[in-house]
Amino acid sequence: MHLLTDPMQFDFFTRALLAVVLVSVLCALVGAWVVLRGLSYIGDAMSHAVFPGIVGAFLMQGNLLVGALIAAVLTALGIGAIGRRSGLKQDSAIGIVFVGMFALGIVMLSRAPTFTTDLSNFLIGNPLGVTPADLWGALAVTVVVGGILTAIQKELLLASFDPTEARAVGLPVRRLESLLLILIGLVVVLTVQLVGTTLSVSLLITSSAAARLLARSLRKMMLLAAALGTVGGVTGLYLSYYQDTAPGATIVLVNTAIFLAALALRRRE
């Protein structure tokens, strides 16, 4: 029992546990839609597309999260605009905007006089550095995103799987798609702070993909994804504490193992 309680004597570890639980629930809410709509690429794209916002905020000595959020919203709107006006498929629009935004971040970074610890921590992630303010922010984002998705669930389902019928009944399909992309960007911004730009996509996709293999409905998929993400996050955090490994990367590896276990169970059915 002391193996579970000993790390809890440290406030930073307790805050990291709470953050992992909140982010797991948040990622389950959005990740289910990402997996169901085949938008797995968007998680990776968003995690890189927020880079110029982070660098811009750093250069102006502003809040990195605010900068990342602005970049995420602009990326989501840009993907929607290019997809509509060019007639290209959404994955092509995502690729164009993602590469352009990431390149812009690199150019902006080359103008930075120094590369500080704060910025590097944001890029590679540090769950053990979560502050009480971060927790309140995560809770607020979880409530907002959960409320919005609950309110538009039926409309979003119809627009996702039968856009022709959705347009026929008067639903604003394009606005719903843009709203979903913005919500995904918001979630990516939050998870980037936890595990960094290169690993945040795993928290968004892996648990939801594992739940998709085992669940038969959207509601069950979200609940299972939240449970699997929480188990993977907490387990990974404890393993990183006792094995002295990088917390973010350890969480991702545990989540990957859970997905492989779900895949093995699915094949036995």
pLDDT of 132: 84
- Backbone φ and ψ for 199, nearest 5 degrees, come out as -115, -10
What average pLDDT does range 201-225 have in this prediction?
86
Our CA angle for 128, 133, 137, nearest 5°, is 100
Our CA angle for 156, 213, 258, nearest 5°, is 115
> Comparing 96 with 3, which gets the higher pLDDT?
96
- Backbone φ and ψ for 230, nearest 5 degrees, come out as -65, -45
SS3 assignment, position 162: coil
> Comparing 219 with 196, which gets the higher pLDDT?
219
Q: Where are the domains of the chain?
A: 6-121+133-260
Q: Cβ–Cβ contacts within 10 Å for residue 192, how many?
A: 28
Count the residues in the chain.
Answer: 269
Lowest mean pLDDT among 62-71, 142-151, 215-224, 226-235: 62-71
Tell me the C-alpha distance between 203 and 44, whole Å: 11
pLDDT over 50 at 117, yes or no: no
Tell me the C-alpha distance between 152 and 19, whole Å: 26
pLDDT over 60 at 15, yes or no: yes
DSSP state of 128: G
pLDDT over 60 at 99, yes or no: yes
Q: What is the mean pLDDT of the chain?
A: 81
SS3 assignment, position 168: helix
Q: Extract the tokens encoding 17.
A: 């546990």
pLDDT of 259: 92
The HSE-up count of residue 138 (CA atoms within 13 Å, CB side) is 26
- Backbone φ and ψ for 131, nearest 5 degrees, come out as -105, 165
pLDDT of 121: 58
pLDDT of 261: 92
pLDDT interval class at 39 (50, 70, 90): confident
Residue 248 and residue 199 in contact, taking contact as beta carbons nearer than 8 Å: yes
pLDDT of 145: 87
pLDDT over 80 at 167, yes or no: yes
User: What's the sign of the alpha-carbon dihedral 62, 68, 73, 76?
Assistant: positive
pLDDT of 123: 59
Q: What is the pLDDT of residues 51-84, one digit of tens each?
A: 888 888 878 877 777 888 888 888 888 887 787 7
pLDDT of 29: 85
The HSE-up count of residue 243 (CA atoms within 13 Å, CB side) is 12
Q: Cβ–Cβ contacts within 10 Å for residue 75, how many?
A: 28
Residue 222 and residue 28 in contact, taking contact as beta carbons nearer than 8 Å: yes
pLDDT over 80 at 161, yes or no: no
* Residue % of the chain over a pLDDT of 70: 88
User: What's the sign of the alpha-carbon dihedral 224, 225, 228, 233?
Assistant: negative
pLDDT over 90 at 92, yes or no: no
pLDDT over 90 at 174, yes or no: no
pLDDT over 60 at 246, yes or no: yes
* Residue closest to 17 by CA, chosen among 173, 238, 254, 260: 238
The CATH number of the structural domain formed by 6-121+133-260 is 1.10.3470.10
pLDDT of 258: 93
pLDDT of 66: 81
* Residue closest to 30 by CA, chosen among 184, 219, 141, 252: 184
Ranked by mean pLDDT, which of 42-46, 239-243, 264-268 comes out on top? 239-243
pLDDT over 80 at 219, yes or no: yes
